[in-house]
Amino acid sequence: MKKLHISQQKIGKLLLLPVFVLGLFFSSCEDEIINLEPFNQISETVAFSTPEKVALSVIGMYQAAQIGDFNGGNRGYPFGAAFVQQGDSRGEDIVNIYAFYAFTYQGTYTPSTANNVFYWSDTYRLINRINIVAEGVIDAAENGVISPALANEYKGEALLLRAAAYHQLVFMFARPYRHTGDASHPGVPYHRLPFTTQENIDEGFATGRHSVAQVYQFILEDLDFAEQHLPLKSQRTGNTQVSRGTKGAAAAYKARIHQHMWNMPGVIAEGSKFFDGGVYADHYVLNANPWDVFYNNYGSGEYMFGMESSATNYPSVNGALPQMFKRRLLLCHSPILWNNPSWLPDDKRRDEDHMIINVSGVMFTHKYKDDVNNDDLSPMMRFAEVALNLAEAHARQGNMEQGLRFLNMVRDRALADPATQSYTAADFGSTVDLLEAVLVERRIELVFEGHRYADIHRLQHCPHFPIDGVPAKFENAMPPASAFVLDGTPYDGPRTVTAIPYSDHRFVWPIPQNELNANPTLAGQQNPGW
Protein backbone atom coordinates (compact mmCIF):
# COMPACT_ATOMS: atom_id res chain seq x y z
CA MET A 1 0.00 0.00 0.00
CA LYS A 2 1.46 3.31 -1.05
CA LYS A 3 1.66 5.96 1.63
CA LEU A 4 2.29 9.67 1.63
CA HIS A 5 4.48 10.91 4.46
CA ILE A 6 4.05 14.55 5.44
CA SER A 7 6.08 16.06 8.22
CA GLN A 8 4.26 16.48 11.51
CA GLN A 9 5.86 19.90 11.91
CA LYS A 10 4.42 21.01 8.58
CA ILE A 11 0.96 19.76 9.54
CA GLY A 12 1.14 21.55 12.84
CA LYS A 13 1.54 24.88 11.09
CA LEU A 14 -1.49 24.48 8.93
CA LEU A 15 -4.86 25.73 9.99
CA LEU A 16 -6.04 26.28 6.48
CA LEU A 17 -4.54 23.09 5.08
CA PRO A 18 -5.47 20.15 7.34
CA VAL A 19 -4.83 16.64 5.98
CA PHE A 20 -6.39 14.31 8.50
CA VAL A 21 -8.26 11.69 6.53
CA LEU A 22 -9.56 10.23 9.79
CA GLY A 23 -11.87 13.24 10.00
CA LEU A 24 -13.81 11.83 7.08
CA PHE A 25 -15.22 8.96 9.09
CA PHE A 26 -17.51 8.28 12.00
CA SER A 27 -15.08 7.02 14.62
CA SER A 28 -17.80 5.06 16.34
CA CYS A 29 -18.28 2.70 13.42
CA GLU A 30 -15.01 2.73 11.49
CA ASP A 31 -12.17 2.39 14.00
CA GLU A 32 -10.57 -0.22 11.79
CA ILE A 33 -10.09 2.40 9.08
CA ILE A 34 -8.83 5.10 11.42
CA ASN A 35 -6.28 2.82 13.01
CA LEU A 36 -4.77 1.57 9.76
CA GLU A 37 -2.36 4.48 9.42
CA PRO A 38 -0.57 6.93 11.73
CA PHE A 39 -2.28 10.32 11.86
CA ASN A 40 0.27 11.98 9.58
CA GLN A 41 0.30 9.25 6.93
CA ILE A 42 -2.48 9.15 4.37
CA SER A 43 -3.27 5.97 2.50
CA GLU A 44 -4.11 6.66 -1.12
CA THR A 45 -6.21 3.52 -1.37
CA VAL A 46 -7.98 2.76 1.92
CA ALA A 47 -10.53 5.55 2.08
CA PHE A 48 -11.86 4.91 -1.42
CA SER A 49 -11.08 1.23 -1.85
CA THR A 50 -14.62 -0.21 -1.65
CA PRO A 51 -18.10 1.16 -2.44
CA GLU A 52 -18.92 1.05 1.27
CA LYS A 53 -15.86 3.06 2.27
CA VAL A 54 -16.48 5.57 -0.50
CA ALA A 55 -20.03 6.04 0.75
CA LEU A 56 -18.75 6.41 4.30
CA SER A 57 -16.30 9.11 3.25
CA VAL A 58 -19.17 11.10 1.73
CA ILE A 59 -21.25 10.75 4.90
CA GLY A 60 -18.22 11.85 6.92
CA MET A 61 -17.99 14.98 4.81
CA TYR A 62 -21.46 15.97 6.01
CA GLN A 63 -20.41 15.12 9.56
CA ALA A 64 -17.53 17.56 9.23
CA ALA A 65 -19.93 20.21 7.92
CA GLN A 66 -22.17 19.75 10.90
CA ILE A 67 -19.83 19.51 13.87
CA GLY A 68 -16.51 21.32 13.42
CA ASP A 69 -13.79 21.36 16.04
CA PHE A 70 -13.92 24.56 18.15
CA ASN A 71 -11.14 23.58 20.52
CA GLY A 72 -12.28 19.98 20.50
CA GLY A 73 -15.92 20.77 21.28
CA ASN A 74 -18.95 20.18 19.07
CA ARG A 75 -20.21 23.71 18.52
CA GLY A 76 -21.77 23.16 15.11
CA TYR A 77 -19.21 24.94 12.92
CA PRO A 78 -19.91 25.82 10.20
CA PHE A 79 -23.31 24.36 9.26
CA GLY A 80 -24.62 22.64 12.36
CA ALA A 81 -25.62 25.67 14.37
CA ALA A 82 -22.88 28.29 14.05
CA PHE A 83 -24.05 29.88 10.80
CA VAL A 84 -27.45 30.55 12.39
CA GLN A 85 -26.10 31.82 15.68
CA GLN A 86 -23.31 33.95 14.22
CA GLY A 87 -25.30 35.23 11.24
CA ASP A 88 -28.13 36.51 13.40
CA SER A 89 -25.92 37.72 16.25
CA ARG A 90 -24.14 40.04 13.83
CA GLY A 91 -27.47 41.71 13.06
CA GLU A 92 -30.05 43.72 14.99
CA ASP A 93 -33.14 41.49 14.78
CA ILE A 94 -32.26 39.30 17.76
CA VAL A 95 -30.94 40.22 21.20
CA ASN A 96 -27.97 38.47 22.76
CA ILE A 97 -28.84 38.30 26.44
CA TYR A 98 -25.74 36.86 28.10
CA ALA A 99 -22.02 36.75 27.34
CA PHE A 100 -22.09 33.73 25.05
CA TYR A 101 -22.24 35.64 21.75
CA ALA A 102 -21.22 39.04 23.10
CA PHE A 103 -18.09 39.39 20.93
CA THR A 104 -20.16 38.81 17.81
CA TYR A 105 -23.20 40.80 18.94
CA GLN A 106 -21.23 43.84 20.11
CA GLY A 107 -18.61 43.75 17.37
CA THR A 108 -15.73 43.44 19.83
CA TYR A 109 -14.08 40.50 18.11
CA THR A 110 -10.37 40.50 17.33
CA PRO A 111 -8.09 38.32 15.19
CA SER A 112 -7.93 35.96 18.18
CA THR A 113 -11.53 35.66 19.43
CA ALA A 114 -12.84 32.13 19.19
CA ASN A 115 -16.05 32.60 17.20
CA ASN A 116 -14.49 34.14 14.12
CA VAL A 117 -11.24 32.15 14.44
CA PHE A 118 -13.04 28.81 14.41
CA TYR A 119 -15.50 29.94 11.77
CA TRP A 120 -12.48 30.33 9.50
CA SER A 121 -10.51 27.28 10.57
CA ASP A 122 -13.41 24.82 10.83
CA THR A 123 -14.77 25.92 7.46
CA TYR A 124 -11.40 25.42 5.81
CA ARG A 125 -11.04 22.04 7.53
CA LEU A 126 -14.37 21.15 5.99
CA ILE A 127 -13.26 22.41 2.59
CA ASN A 128 -10.17 20.22 2.65
CA ARG A 129 -12.27 17.18 3.50
CA ILE A 130 -14.60 18.11 0.67
CA ASN A 131 -11.65 18.32 -1.72
CA ILE A 132 -10.36 14.93 -0.56
CA VAL A 133 -13.77 13.42 -1.30
CA ALA A 134 -14.16 15.20 -4.64
CA GLU A 135 -10.85 13.82 -5.86
CA GLY A 136 -11.17 10.44 -4.17
CA VAL A 137 -14.51 9.51 -5.70
CA ILE A 138 -13.24 10.24 -9.20
CA ASP A 139 -10.18 8.09 -8.52
CA ALA A 140 -12.48 5.36 -7.24
CA ALA A 141 -14.42 5.45 -10.50
CA GLU A 142 -11.22 5.29 -12.55
CA ASN A 143 -10.19 2.25 -10.48
CA GLY A 144 -13.52 0.54 -11.09
CA VAL A 145 -14.65 0.76 -7.46
CA ILE A 146 -17.81 2.75 -8.23
CA SER A 147 -19.48 3.82 -11.47
CA PRO A 148 -18.60 7.15 -13.11
CA ALA A 149 -22.20 8.28 -12.64
CA LEU A 150 -22.10 7.62 -8.89
CA ALA A 151 -18.70 9.30 -8.66
CA ASN A 152 -20.10 12.44 -10.27
CA GLU A 153 -23.11 12.35 -7.94
CA TYR A 154 -20.84 12.16 -4.91
CA LYS A 155 -18.64 14.90 -6.33
CA GLY A 156 -21.77 17.01 -6.86
CA GLU A 157 -22.57 16.65 -3.17
CA ALA A 158 -19.04 17.74 -2.34
CA LEU A 159 -19.16 20.79 -4.59
CA LEU A 160 -22.54 21.90 -3.30
CA LEU A 161 -21.10 21.88 0.22
CA ARG A 162 -17.94 23.62 -0.97
CA ALA A 163 -19.96 26.38 -2.63
CA ALA A 164 -22.05 26.86 0.52
CA ALA A 165 -18.92 26.96 2.67
CA TYR A 166 -17.16 29.52 0.51
CA HIS A 167 -20.20 31.75 0.39
CA GLN A 168 -20.24 31.86 4.19
CA LEU A 169 -16.56 32.75 4.24
CA VAL A 170 -16.73 35.44 1.57
CA PHE A 171 -19.49 37.47 3.23
CA MET A 172 -18.07 37.03 6.72
CA PHE A 173 -14.44 37.87 5.90
CA ALA A 174 -14.64 40.09 2.79
CA ARG A 175 -16.40 43.24 1.63
CA PRO A 176 -19.58 42.90 -0.46
CA TYR A 177 -19.58 42.21 -4.18
CA ARG A 178 -20.32 45.86 -5.04
CA HIS A 179 -17.53 47.25 -2.87
CA THR A 180 -15.62 47.79 -6.11
CA GLY A 181 -17.12 48.16 -9.56
CA ASP A 182 -15.71 44.87 -10.80
CA ALA A 183 -15.56 43.03 -7.45
CA SER A 184 -11.77 42.94 -7.75
CA HIS A 185 -11.20 43.55 -4.03
CA PRO A 186 -9.88 40.72 -1.82
CA GLY A 187 -12.12 37.77 -1.11
CA VAL A 188 -10.83 34.55 0.45
CA PRO A 189 -8.45 31.83 -0.78
CA TYR A 190 -10.42 29.32 -2.88
CA HIS A 191 -8.81 25.89 -2.71
CA ARG A 192 -9.94 23.14 -5.05
CA LEU A 193 -7.16 20.62 -4.44
CA PRO A 194 -6.88 18.35 -1.40
CA PHE A 195 -3.80 18.86 0.74
CA THR A 196 -2.67 15.25 0.54
CA THR A 197 0.58 15.81 -1.36
CA GLN A 198 3.53 18.03 -0.66
CA GLU A 199 3.00 19.70 -4.03
CA ASN A 200 -0.59 20.60 -3.20
CA ILE A 201 0.39 21.87 0.24
CA ASP A 202 3.08 24.09 -1.25
CA GLU A 203 0.54 25.42 -3.73
CA GLY A 204 -1.85 26.10 -0.87
CA PHE A 205 0.76 28.13 0.98
CA ALA A 206 1.42 30.12 -2.18
CA THR A 207 -2.27 30.87 -2.77
CA GLY A 208 -3.43 34.20 -1.44
CA ARG A 209 -6.86 35.74 -1.39
CA HIS A 210 -8.75 35.43 -4.64
CA SER A 211 -10.81 38.44 -5.62
CA VAL A 212 -14.47 38.49 -4.63
CA ALA A 213 -15.37 38.21 -8.32
CA GLN A 214 -13.25 35.07 -8.65
CA VAL A 215 -14.74 33.52 -5.51
CA TYR A 216 -18.27 34.01 -6.82
CA GLN A 217 -17.26 32.65 -10.23
CA PHE A 218 -15.83 29.52 -8.60
CA ILE A 219 -18.93 29.12 -6.44
CA LEU A 220 -21.18 29.20 -9.49
CA GLU A 221 -18.97 26.69 -11.29
CA ASP A 222 -19.26 24.33 -8.33
CA LEU A 223 -23.03 24.77 -8.24
CA ASP A 224 -23.37 24.19 -11.99
CA PHE A 225 -21.58 20.87 -11.65
CA ALA A 226 -23.66 19.96 -8.61
CA GLU A 227 -26.96 20.71 -10.30
CA GLN A 228 -25.97 18.71 -13.35
CA HIS A 229 -24.99 15.56 -11.47
CA LEU A 230 -27.07 15.47 -8.29
CA PRO A 231 -30.36 13.54 -8.10
CA LEU A 232 -33.77 15.11 -7.71
CA LYS A 233 -35.25 15.27 -4.23
CA SER A 234 -37.78 12.62 -5.29
CA GLN A 235 -34.91 10.25 -6.10
CA ARG A 236 -33.73 10.27 -2.50
CA THR A 237 -35.49 8.66 0.46
CA GLY A 238 -36.14 9.52 4.09
CA ASN A 239 -34.08 12.24 5.72
CA THR A 240 -31.63 12.29 2.82
CA GLN A 241 -34.20 14.16 0.72
CA VAL A 242 -33.10 17.28 2.57
CA SER A 243 -29.89 16.28 4.37
CA ARG A 244 -28.05 15.30 1.17
CA GLY A 245 -27.50 17.43 -1.92
CA THR A 246 -30.09 17.58 -4.70
CA LYS A 247 -30.52 19.40 -7.98
CA GLY A 248 -33.11 21.68 -6.43
CA ALA A 249 -30.82 22.67 -3.58
CA ALA A 250 -28.04 23.55 -6.03
CA ALA A 251 -30.36 25.68 -8.18
CA ALA A 252 -31.75 27.47 -5.12
CA TYR A 253 -28.22 28.24 -3.98
CA LYS A 254 -27.45 29.69 -7.41
CA ALA A 255 -30.38 32.07 -7.03
CA ARG A 256 -28.95 33.18 -3.68
CA ILE A 257 -25.49 33.68 -5.16
CA HIS A 258 -26.81 35.78 -8.05
CA GLN A 259 -28.68 37.89 -5.51
CA HIS A 260 -25.41 38.69 -3.71
CA MET A 261 -23.83 39.50 -7.08
CA TRP A 262 -26.70 41.88 -7.88
CA ASN A 263 -27.56 39.85 -10.96
CA MET A 264 -31.34 39.98 -10.74
CA PRO A 265 -31.95 38.29 -14.11
CA GLY A 266 -29.81 35.42 -12.78
CA VAL A 267 -31.96 35.22 -9.64
CA ILE A 268 -35.08 35.07 -11.78
CA ALA A 269 -33.63 32.46 -14.14
CA GLU A 270 -32.69 30.12 -11.29
CA GLY A 271 -35.71 30.79 -9.10
CA SER A 272 -38.14 30.32 -11.99
CA LYS A 273 -37.05 26.69 -12.29
CA PHE A 274 -39.37 26.00 -9.34
CA PHE A 275 -42.56 27.53 -10.76
CA ASP A 276 -44.83 27.56 -13.81
CA GLY A 277 -43.60 24.43 -15.53
CA GLY A 278 -39.94 24.87 -14.55
CA VAL A 279 -37.74 21.82 -14.27
CA TYR A 280 -38.30 21.63 -10.50
CA ALA A 281 -41.90 22.82 -10.39
CA ASP A 282 -44.00 20.81 -7.92
CA HIS A 283 -40.90 19.34 -6.24
CA TYR A 284 -41.24 21.79 -3.34
CA VAL A 285 -44.23 23.44 -1.69
CA LEU A 286 -44.87 26.01 0.99
CA ASN A 287 -46.61 24.44 3.95
CA ALA A 288 -50.07 25.64 4.90
CA ASN A 289 -48.85 27.20 8.15
CA PRO A 290 -45.52 28.92 8.83
CA TRP A 291 -44.75 26.51 11.67
CA ASP A 292 -45.34 23.27 9.78
CA VAL A 293 -41.82 23.14 8.41
CA PHE A 294 -40.36 23.28 11.92
CA TYR A 295 -42.52 20.42 13.16
CA ASN A 296 -41.70 18.14 10.23
CA ASN A 297 -38.15 19.15 9.32
CA TYR A 298 -37.07 16.20 7.24
CA GLY A 299 -40.48 15.33 5.83
CA SER A 300 -41.47 18.85 4.87
CA GLY A 301 -41.92 19.79 1.25
CA GLU A 302 -40.55 23.21 2.11
CA TYR A 303 -37.09 22.32 3.31
CA MET A 304 -34.61 22.08 0.46
CA PHE A 305 -31.29 21.52 2.24
CA GLY A 306 -29.99 21.37 5.78
CA MET A 307 -27.76 19.49 8.18
CA GLU A 308 -29.20 16.46 9.91
CA SER A 309 -28.66 16.64 13.67
CA SER A 310 -28.77 14.28 16.64
CA ALA A 311 -27.95 14.02 20.33
CA THR A 312 -24.93 11.89 19.41
CA ASN A 313 -23.44 14.72 17.39
CA TYR A 314 -24.25 17.33 20.03
CA PRO A 315 -23.71 15.75 23.45
CA SER A 316 -23.20 19.10 25.20
CA VAL A 317 -25.48 22.11 25.62
CA ASN A 318 -23.24 24.35 23.53
CA GLY A 319 -23.92 23.14 20.01
CA ALA A 320 -27.45 22.27 18.96
CA LEU A 321 -29.93 24.96 17.93
CA PRO A 322 -32.72 23.92 20.34
CA GLN A 323 -30.26 23.97 23.24
CA MET A 324 -29.21 27.55 22.56
CA PHE A 325 -32.56 28.99 21.54
CA LYS A 326 -35.03 26.94 23.61
CA ARG A 327 -33.48 25.30 26.64
CA ARG A 328 -30.86 27.92 27.49
CA LEU A 329 -32.75 30.90 26.01
CA LEU A 330 -29.55 32.75 25.15
CA LEU A 331 -31.03 34.89 22.38
CA CYS A 332 -34.49 36.41 22.06
CA HIS A 333 -36.44 38.41 19.53
CA SER A 334 -35.39 42.04 19.33
CA PRO A 335 -37.99 44.73 19.98
CA ILE A 336 -36.59 46.39 16.86
CA LEU A 337 -38.10 43.76 14.58
CA TRP A 338 -40.86 42.57 16.91
CA ASN A 339 -42.47 46.04 16.88
CA ASN A 340 -42.08 46.66 13.16
CA PRO A 341 -45.56 47.85 12.03
CA SER A 342 -45.34 45.67 8.90
CA TRP A 343 -45.41 42.59 11.15
CA LEU A 344 -49.11 42.48 11.93
CA PRO A 345 -50.09 41.75 15.56
CA ASP A 346 -52.16 38.69 14.58
CA ASP A 347 -49.54 37.25 12.21
CA LYS A 348 -49.23 33.49 12.80
CA ARG A 349 -45.48 33.86 13.17
CA ARG A 350 -46.24 35.42 16.56
CA ASP A 351 -48.23 32.35 17.62
CA GLU A 352 -47.26 31.32 21.17
CA ASP A 353 -48.42 27.75 20.68
CA HIS A 354 -46.14 27.10 17.73
CA MET A 355 -43.60 29.83 16.93
CA ILE A 356 -42.87 31.81 20.08
CA ILE A 357 -41.78 31.03 23.63
CA ASN A 358 -43.11 33.73 25.94
CA VAL A 359 -41.03 33.98 29.11
CA SER A 360 -42.57 36.60 31.39
CA GLY A 361 -43.38 38.76 28.39
CA VAL A 362 -40.00 38.38 26.63
CA MET A 363 -40.28 36.66 23.26
CA PHE A 364 -38.00 33.80 22.21
CA THR A 365 -38.12 31.72 19.05
CA HIS A 366 -39.67 28.26 19.02
CA LYS A 367 -38.44 27.29 15.56
CA TYR A 368 -36.12 24.68 17.08
CA LYS A 369 -38.12 22.32 19.23
CA ASP A 370 -36.37 19.12 20.28
CA ASP A 371 -34.00 20.02 23.10
CA VAL A 372 -33.86 16.38 24.18
CA ASN A 373 -32.71 14.62 21.02
CA ASN A 374 -31.25 17.75 19.35
CA ASP A 375 -32.47 16.46 15.99
CA ASP A 376 -33.80 19.72 14.52
CA LEU A 377 -32.46 20.20 11.03
CA SER A 378 -30.16 23.19 10.52
CA PRO A 379 -31.95 25.27 7.87
CA MET A 380 -29.50 25.96 5.05
CA MET A 381 -32.17 26.49 2.36
CA ARG A 382 -35.95 26.77 2.53
CA PHE A 383 -38.41 27.14 -0.33
CA ALA A 384 -39.75 30.31 1.29
CA GLU A 385 -36.38 31.95 0.64
CA VAL A 386 -36.56 31.06 -3.06
CA ALA A 387 -39.95 32.77 -3.30
CA LEU A 388 -38.70 35.86 -1.45
CA ASN A 389 -35.58 36.02 -3.63
CA LEU A 390 -37.84 36.02 -6.68
CA ALA A 391 -40.07 38.68 -5.13
CA GLU A 392 -37.07 40.93 -4.56
CA ALA A 393 -35.57 40.34 -8.00
CA HIS A 394 -38.85 41.09 -9.77
CA ALA A 395 -39.42 44.22 -7.68
CA ARG A 396 -35.93 45.46 -8.54
CA GLN A 397 -36.65 44.74 -12.21
CA GLY A 398 -39.83 46.81 -12.02
CA ASN A 399 -42.29 43.92 -12.30
CA MET A 400 -45.08 44.68 -9.82
CA GLU A 401 -47.23 41.67 -10.74
CA GLN A 402 -44.56 39.02 -10.22
CA GLY A 403 -42.95 40.73 -7.25
CA LEU A 404 -46.31 40.92 -5.51
CA ARG A 405 -47.13 37.32 -6.40
CA PHE A 406 -44.06 35.87 -4.72
CA LEU A 407 -44.22 38.19 -1.72
CA ASN A 408 -47.83 37.20 -1.02
CA MET A 409 -47.01 33.55 -1.55
CA VAL A 410 -44.93 33.64 1.64
CA ARG A 411 -46.76 36.29 3.61
CA ASP A 412 -50.36 35.18 3.05
CA ARG A 413 -50.00 31.85 4.81
CA ALA A 414 -49.03 33.71 7.99
CA LEU A 415 -51.96 36.12 7.90
CA ALA A 416 -54.95 35.72 10.16
CA ASP A 417 -57.26 36.84 7.33
CA PRO A 418 -55.60 36.79 3.91
CA ALA A 419 -58.81 37.95 2.23
CA THR A 420 -58.51 41.36 3.89
CA GLN A 421 -54.82 41.52 4.87
CA SER A 422 -53.07 40.33 1.70
CA TYR A 423 -51.16 42.96 -0.20
CA THR A 424 -52.53 44.32 -3.47
CA ALA A 425 -50.86 46.50 -6.06
CA ALA A 426 -52.85 49.43 -4.72
CA ASP A 427 -50.90 49.18 -1.45
CA PHE A 428 -47.72 50.30 -3.25
CA GLY A 429 -47.07 53.47 -5.13
CA SER A 430 -44.23 51.86 -7.05
CA THR A 431 -42.11 48.74 -7.23
CA VAL A 432 -39.63 50.52 -4.97
CA ASP A 433 -42.30 50.56 -2.27
CA LEU A 434 -42.94 46.90 -2.98
CA LEU A 435 -39.22 46.22 -2.60
CA GLU A 436 -39.27 47.76 0.86
CA ALA A 437 -42.07 45.39 1.87
CA VAL A 438 -40.13 42.41 0.52
CA LEU A 439 -37.02 43.34 2.50
CA VAL A 440 -39.04 43.61 5.72
CA GLU A 441 -40.78 40.31 4.98
CA ARG A 442 -37.38 38.58 4.66
CA ARG A 443 -36.51 39.72 8.16
CA ILE A 444 -39.78 38.45 9.61
CA GLU A 445 -39.84 35.12 7.79
CA LEU A 446 -36.17 34.20 8.11
CA VAL A 447 -35.30 35.51 11.59
CA PHE A 448 -33.37 33.00 13.69
CA GLU A 449 -32.21 31.19 10.56
CA GLY A 450 -28.87 32.97 10.17
CA HIS A 451 -29.71 35.29 7.28
CA ARG A 452 -29.57 38.76 8.76
CA TYR A 453 -25.90 39.57 8.42
CA ALA A 454 -25.80 38.14 4.89
CA ASP A 455 -28.57 40.57 3.97
CA ILE A 456 -26.92 43.46 5.80
CA HIS A 457 -23.73 42.67 3.89
CA ARG A 458 -25.26 42.66 0.40
CA LEU A 459 -27.60 45.61 1.02
CA GLN A 460 -24.76 48.05 1.73
CA HIS A 461 -24.96 49.16 -1.87
CA CYS A 462 -28.70 48.92 -2.44
CA PRO A 463 -29.73 51.87 -4.64
CA HIS A 464 -33.05 52.28 -2.81
CA PHE A 465 -32.62 51.07 0.78
CA PRO A 466 -28.92 50.99 1.56
CA ILE A 467 -27.74 49.96 5.01
CA ASP A 468 -24.67 51.78 6.33
CA GLY A 469 -22.68 49.10 8.09
CA VAL A 470 -24.22 47.10 10.93
CA PRO A 471 -27.24 48.86 12.46
CA ALA A 472 -27.40 49.83 16.13
CA LYS A 473 -28.90 47.17 18.39
CA PHE A 474 -30.73 46.67 21.63
CA GLU A 475 -28.35 46.35 24.55
CA ASN A 476 -26.63 43.03 25.32
CA ALA A 477 -29.08 42.16 28.12
CA MET A 478 -32.53 40.76 28.82
CA PRO A 479 -35.11 43.19 27.40
CA PRO A 480 -38.03 44.22 29.62
CA ALA A 481 -41.44 42.79 28.82
CA SER A 482 -42.65 46.33 28.13
CA ALA A 483 -40.46 46.37 25.01
CA PHE A 484 -42.69 43.71 23.44
CA VAL A 485 -46.06 45.44 23.82
CA LEU A 486 -47.51 45.84 20.33
CA ASP A 487 -49.14 49.24 19.88
CA GLY A 488 -48.65 49.75 16.14
CA THR A 489 -45.57 51.94 16.47
CA PRO A 490 -41.92 51.08 15.85
CA TYR A 491 -39.57 50.52 18.74
CA ASP A 492 -38.09 53.88 19.69
CA GLY A 493 -36.17 52.92 22.81
CA PRO A 494 -32.41 52.93 23.36
CA ARG A 495 -30.02 51.03 21.10
CA THR A 496 -26.96 50.95 23.28
CA VAL A 497 -24.94 48.60 21.06
CA THR A 498 -23.88 51.31 18.67
CA ALA A 499 -23.84 50.97 14.91
CA ILE A 500 -20.70 49.90 13.08
CA PRO A 501 -20.39 52.11 9.97
CA TYR A 502 -19.50 50.48 6.68
CA SER A 503 -16.21 52.38 6.70
CA ASP A 504 -15.27 50.79 10.04
CA HIS A 505 -12.85 47.87 9.83
CA ARG A 506 -15.12 45.86 12.14
CA PHE A 507 -17.72 45.51 9.41
CA VAL A 508 -15.84 42.40 8.27
CA TRP A 509 -14.20 39.79 10.42
CA PRO A 510 -10.39 39.70 10.59
CA ILE A 511 -8.43 36.77 9.24
CA PRO A 512 -7.34 34.85 12.36
CA GLN A 513 -3.95 35.82 13.72
CA ASN A 514 -2.73 32.24 13.99
CA GLU A 515 -3.50 31.82 10.28
CA LEU A 516 -1.42 34.88 9.46
CA ASN A 517 1.40 33.58 11.63
CA ALA A 518 1.41 30.24 9.83
CA ASN A 519 0.82 31.35 6.26
CA PRO A 520 3.37 33.77 4.78
CA THR A 521 1.20 34.56 1.77
CA LEU A 522 -1.79 35.63 3.85
CA ALA A 523 0.39 37.46 6.38
CA GLY A 524 0.28 40.60 4.26
CA GLN A 525 -3.38 40.25 3.25
CA GLN A 526 -5.22 40.96 6.49
CA ASN A 527 -8.40 43.01 6.19
CA PRO A 528 -7.47 46.70 6.57
CA GLY A 529 -7.67 48.10 10.08
CA TRP A 530 -6.95 44.83 11.85
The Cα 164–Cα 157 span in angstroms is 11
Radius of gyration of the chain (CA): 23
Q: Is the alpha carbon torsion for 445, 168, 262, 95 positive or negative?
A: positive
CB 386 within 8 A of CB 257: no
CB 21 within 8 A of CB 47: yes
The Cα 420–Cα 415 span in angstroms is 9
> Residues 51, 53, 54, 55: what is their CA dihedral angle, to the nearest 10 degrees?
90
Instruction: Report the relative pairing of strands 362-365 and 356-359 from DSSP bridges.
Output: antiparallel
- What percent of the chain has a predicted confidence (pLDDT) above 90? 83
Query: 177-182 long-range contacts, Cβ below 8 Å, gap at least 24?
Result: 177/212, 177/213, 177/216, 177/260, 177/261, 177/262, 177/458, 178/262, 178/460, 178/461, 179/212, 179/460, 179/461, 180/212, 182/213
pLDDT value, residue 200: 92
**Helix (H, G, I), strand (E, B), or coil: what is residue 430?**
coil
pTM: 0.93
pLDDT value, residue 279: 98
Which regions in the chain score pLDDT beneath 70?
A: 1-45, 72-74, 314-317
The Cα 7–Cα 5 span in angstroms is 7
CB 303 within 8 A of CB 65: no
pLDDT tens string 445-499 = 999 999 999 999 999 999 999 999 999 999 999 999 999 999 989 999 999 999 9
Across 276-321, the runs of DSSP E, i.e. the strands, are 303-307
The angle that helices 82-89 and 114-142 make with each other, rounded to 10 degrees, is 140
